A and B are shown apart, each in its own frame.
Chain A
Amino acid sequence: MLDDFFIRALIAGIGVALVTGPLGCFVVWRRLSYFGDTLSHSALLGVTMAYSFELNIALSVFIISSAIALILIQLQKKTNLPGDALLGLLAHSSLAVGLVVIGFLTFIRFDIMGLLFGDILAVTTTDIFVIWTGGAVILLVLKLIWKPLFASTVNYELAEAEGLNPDRAKAIFTILMAAVIAISIKMVGLLLITGMLIIPAAMARNISDSPQKMVLFSVIGGLLSVILGLFSSLEFNTSSGPSIIVASLVLFILSLLNIKQSIKLKN
C-alpha cells in the first residue's frame, strides 16, 4: 500500500508536469534555458524570505523571481553587457545572497538538500492546492497569450507588423516563468527546475513535426518522468528532483533512438 505522503507527492508532481510541459516548449523555442536557471537560482532568496517573514514559499519565490526578471530587463536596457553575462551575474549573486542569508537564519533548521533538489516528504496538502490552482491559472494565461507569443517566437516582426503586440506577450510570459518556478520548487528543487522545463520539451522535439504535437509529447514526457522518478525515489531513497530529471533523461535518450530508426527507415 502506498503511503499518504507519496500520494501527495504524486498528485503534486503530476500538477507540475502538466504546466512545465507547454512552458518548457517555449523555453526551448525561445532559447530561454539560462533565463530559467537565473530565475530558479534566485528562488533560494525567495525561500529565505518566506522563512524570515513566515510567508507562503511559492508566493515569496514568485515575488523574488519576478523582481529578478524585472531587474534583468532594466540591466539589459541600461548596460552594454551581453545577455548571458547579465544572466550569470544575477543567477550567481542571487544564489550567493540567498546562501548568506541562510547562514544568518540560525534560529531555523534548514534542509538545504531538500531546497536544492526537492523533497517529496515535504509536500503538504497546501502545496498541492498551490500547485493545482497556480498551475491552472498559468495554463489559462498561456492559452490566452498563445497566439502572439507563438507568432513572435517564429518571427517578432511579423507578429508586431500584424498587430499582435508581442512585447506584452513576452512580459506576461516572463511572469509565467517566475510562477512555474514558484510552484515546482518543492517538488524538483531549485537547481533542477530548468531541467524539468527543458528535457521533456527537448525529448518531444525529437519526435514531433508540429508545435501542437511537441507540446503534447512534452506534457506526456513530463508526466512519465514524474511518475517514474517518484517511484524510484521511493524505492532507492534518492532525492525526488534528481530522480525525476534522470527519468526524463532516459526518455530523452529513448527519443534519440527513435530518430536513428526513422533515419534508417528513410534510407
Chain B
Amino acid sequence: MSDKNILVELHKAGFKQNNKWLVEGVSLKVEKGKIVTLIGPNGSGKSTTAKIALGIYKNIEGLVKKYTNKIGYVPQKISIDWTLPLRVYDFMLLTEDISDEAIDEALALTGVAHLKDKNLGNLSGGEFQRVLIARAISKKPELLVLDEPVQGVDYTGEIALYELIKKISDTLNCGILLISHDLHTVMTATDHVVCLNGHVCCSGTPMDVAKNNEYKTLFGEQASQILSVYEHKHDHVHLDEGQIKKN
C-alpha cells in the first residue's frame, strides 16, 4: 500500500489523566476508503483513542500523524447549551460554510430533512444523532470519526445508517474510524477491527477478532457464538480496571 493513502496514523499512542492511563500502546492507521472499527467494553479507551487520533488530547504518549484537515466528527457525548438559540440549520454550518443544497442533501440522507428549521434543543435523542451524522458527512470529509454514531436510533434506522456509512465510505473514498460496542452490526462493512481494553487486545479482520479468545472473554461466549470458535492461549490476566496484571 502506498503511504499517501494514510489519513491518520497512531504509533504506540496513549493518554494519561490524573496518573491513570485511559489507554496506552495503541497503534493503528486509517486509510482512504477503509473502515476501521474500535470495539471494547465501557471504559476500555475507545473514545480516548478517537480523541487522540483527532488531536483533541494534547499531552499524549507515542506518536500521532494526521495527514488531513478535512475531518467530520460525531462525538459520543455532546450537550447543547440552552443559552444558545441554535437551529439544525445553524448547527450544520458550525465548522464550515457549506451550500444550502449540501445541507439539504446530507439531512435527507440521514432522514431528517424535515427538521432543518427546528431548534436543536427540541430534538429527540435519535433525531439529534441523525443530525450529528448529517453534519459530519455534509462537509464531504476525507476522514470521518464516528463515536457510537447510532446510539438512540431505532433498530431499523441503525441498519440503514450503517449502510449509509458504508456507502459514504465508497462514494467519497473517505477513511472512517468507527467506534461501536456491537461487532455484529458493523461486521459486514468493516475492513479492520481493533479490540481495546485499556490497550490493544487483538486486532485484524472482523473474523480474526471474533475468533480471538480475548474478545470472547471481554464480550462473553454469546458474542462469538455465531462465529466459528477458535481457542488460543490467553497470555495475560486483566485487573478490574483493564490494565494487564504484571506477574
Contacts and interface: CB of A to CB of B under 8 A. Distances in A.
Q: Do A and B bind each other?
A: yes
Interface of A: 28-29, 31, 147, 150-151, 153-155, 157-164, 205, 208-214
B87 A163 contact: no
Given A210-B86, A210-B87, A213-B85, 17 more contacts: A150-B94, A154-B86, A155-B75, A157-B56, A157-B78, A158-B95, A159-B95, A161-B51, A161-B56, A205-B83, A205-B85, A209-B85, A209-B119, A210-B89, A211-B85, A211-B86, A214-B85
Contacts, number: 71
Interface of B: 51, 54-56, 69, 71-73, 75, 78, 80-81, 83-87, 89-91, 94-96, 119, 139, 145
A35 to B, nearest CB: 15
Contacts of A212: 90
Nearest to B53: A161
A157 B85 contact: no
A115 B60 CA distance: 48
Contact of B95 (A29, A153, A164): A164
Contacts of B78: 155, 157-158
12 contacts: A157-B73, A158-B73, A159-B94, A161-B55, A162-B95, A162-B139, A163-B69, A163-B71, A209-B119, A210-B85, A210-B86, A211-B86
Contacts of A213: 85
Contacts of A163: 69, 71
B94 A161 contact: no
B87 A154 contact: no
A29 B71 contact: no
A157 B51 contact: yes
Contacts of B87: 209-210
A29 B81 contact: yes
A28 B83 contact: yes
Contacts of A28: 83
